[in-house]
Amino acid sequence: MCRPSSRILVLSAIAGLGSASCVRLGVGSIADDAVDASLTTDAEASDAVAIDAVASDAAATDAAVDDTGVGDAWADDAATGDAGTSASLSLEIDPSFGGASGYVSWQGTSPGDNFVSDVAFDANGRMLVLGMTFNTGSLRDLALWRLATDGVPDPTFADGGYLKYSASPYDWGSRIFPLASGRILVVGNIDYGTDDPTIWRFTEDGGLDVSFGQSGRARIVLPGEVQGHSGALDLAGRVYLLGRQFGNWFDVSRFSSDGARDTTFAQGSGHFTFNALPSSSGVEIKLDNAGRPVVVGGVRPRGATTDSDLGVWRFTEDGLLDVDFGEDGIFIHDGAAREGSGGNGGGGNDGGSDVIFMADDSMIVVGHSANTSTVSQMTLWKLQPNGTLDASFGNQGVVTQSSPVGHAGGTTGTRILRQDETHFLVVGSAIEGDDSKRIAIWRMTIDGDLDPSFENGGWFKRESMAYEEALSATWDGANRLVIGGRRAEPTTTEAAVWRFEFRPR
């Protein structure tokens, strides 16, 4: 068993570690000289919305290095993990990463719920890992690590490869965008009495970029507790920020590339709050091929009591609901896992967590749906450009994965990634009988079928003695699958990153 350290460990020789070993990087208390402590109060605007982002002439438009979230189209192979044309594929943990174990993990100064929310790669191929670590008591800090190819911390970044941002009791990052200039854009949450969606920009070496927003950050203050849950970056360098007021509504705001409020969005307000239904929860935001914001998540329509449905919203680039999509800009679907199983759909809990876009402007949404036994199933929906189900995909536009080979519990999909011209991956979790989770990966054809040549009938479950949950996934420059999430042992929950390789069998 690996024992956490209270300090950053920079390991120069890990090749000789045994197969049962791992690299665990402790994240101790680090002074936060870059935090602007003066930003503790905000004047509330008369409409209860305040933006503390100040325009700066010094900040130029800065494009993202790789995945801006714009036009994640099937025709673009540059960001995919091309597994080649082998007739049969296996997925194996990469022993060249993390000291032969294939993963790297971190624990905060308290054994709380540490996790990785996103992973990306900069122009030099260095891995940027974003998440949250527990501080003393119940305090939470935004955490950002930069790693070399083998998983060793980059000593030229921040404090030995690790940056901790602690400006409020509850700071965390949800999405990260490496920029072409080397700077790093982060969206997430800050808490000065209430949760507020926030954007930070850091320099290449890990300091706050004071030319952005107000002393390196910009936030939107909305009524109540609204967490910054996701974000996207367009080709003009404008930042979209998805705020989520749990159980009630969500908000999409847009900022210019210098961190100023974008008053060309949503009829001059700079943000759009969707609260037209009893409960609407935005989980993820991506930009489609035309640069339009698409939000996926859950919704409770009028008249419903407890069940939630899949919700997909498409906005125009100007920040209004796109009336050419679905019904007045919204697609809602209920009971996916109950259709064709003795029921006629309806009931249960459905929700979306991620989306990719095809070259013809259709989209595939991944998430979950509960069957008649209330067991969660990984679910896919394919929507045509007009926001209706594509009947050529799966079962009339819907695919559910129930009782995969070798697993009797529930499943859920968290991330969806293109792999090649005819396949995509779903990364999520297999839920065990004790409600613990294991990393699960499905390889699907573009028609919605499991690829029988992959692993165990088209799916893979990582067998581990520890609780392991996938929260993010991406490809590295060598087409290896990188997953970020959390890993729990009896006394602690750690932020973790795993790396996998596809190999012919």
Q: DSSP for 214-248?
A: BTTEEEEE-SS--EEEEEEE-TTS-EEEEEEETTT
Residue of 99 and 492 predicted with greater confidence: 99
pLDDT score of 56 more than 70: no
Residue of 228 and 319 predicted with greater confidence: 319
- What tens digit of pLDDT does each residue of 480-502 get? 999 999 998 777 789 999 999 99
Q: What is the CA radius of gyration of the chain?
A: 22
Closest CA to 440 of 465, 470, 402: 470
Please state, rounded to an integer, the average pLDDT across all residues of the chain.
81
CB 458 within 8 A of CB 90: no
Residue 78 tokens read as: 């540059």
CA distance 43 to 51: 9
pLDDT score of 49 more than 70: no
pLDDT given at position 45? 32
pLDDT given at position 37? 28
| Confidence band of 146 (pLDDT split at 50, 70, 90) | very high
Q: Which of 3-12, 217-226, 249-258, 463-472 has the highest mean pLDDT?
A: 249-258
Which residue type, as a one-letter code, is found at position 315?
F
pLDDT score of 439 more than 90: yes
pLDDT score of 17 more than 80: no
- What tens digit of pLDDT does each residue of 156-165 get? 999 999 999 8
**pTM of the entire predicted model:** 0.84
Q: What is the mean pLDDT of residues 68-74?
A: 43
Q: What is the mean pLDDT of residues 251-269?
A: 96
The correct CATH number of 55-504 out of 2.130.10.10, 3.30.1510.10, 3.10.620.30, 3.40.50.11890 is 2.130.10.10
Percent of the chain with pLDDT over 90: 58
pLDDT given at position 14? 23
pLDDT given at position 338? 80
Closest CA to 66 of 76, 52, 56, 54: 76
pLDDT score of 404 more than 70: no
pLDDT given at position 27? 38
Q: What is the mean pLDDT of residues 179-186?
A: 97
Residue of 108 and 280 predicted with greater confidence: 280
pLDDT given at position 63? 61
Q: Which of 105-114, 278-287, 366-375 has the highest mean pLDDT?
A: 278-287
Residue 206 CB partners (closer than 8 Å, separation 6+):
144, 146, 157, 158, 159, 163
* Residue 267 Ramachandran class (φ > 0 left, ψ -120 to 50 alpha, else beta): left
Determine the 3-state secondary structure of 295 from DSSP.
strand
pLDDT given at position 397? 95
CA distance 240 to 222: 15
pLDDT given at position 341? 40
CA distance 338 to 358: 27
CB count in 10 Å sphere of residue 54? 14
pLDDT given at position 343? 34
| Confidence band of 305 (pLDDT split at 50, 70, 90) | low
* Residue 259 Ramachandran class (φ > 0 left, ψ -120 to 50 alpha, else beta): left
Which residue type, as a one-letter code, is found at position 171?
D
| Confidence band of 342 (pLDDT split at 50, 70, 90) | very low
pLDDT given at position 380? 96
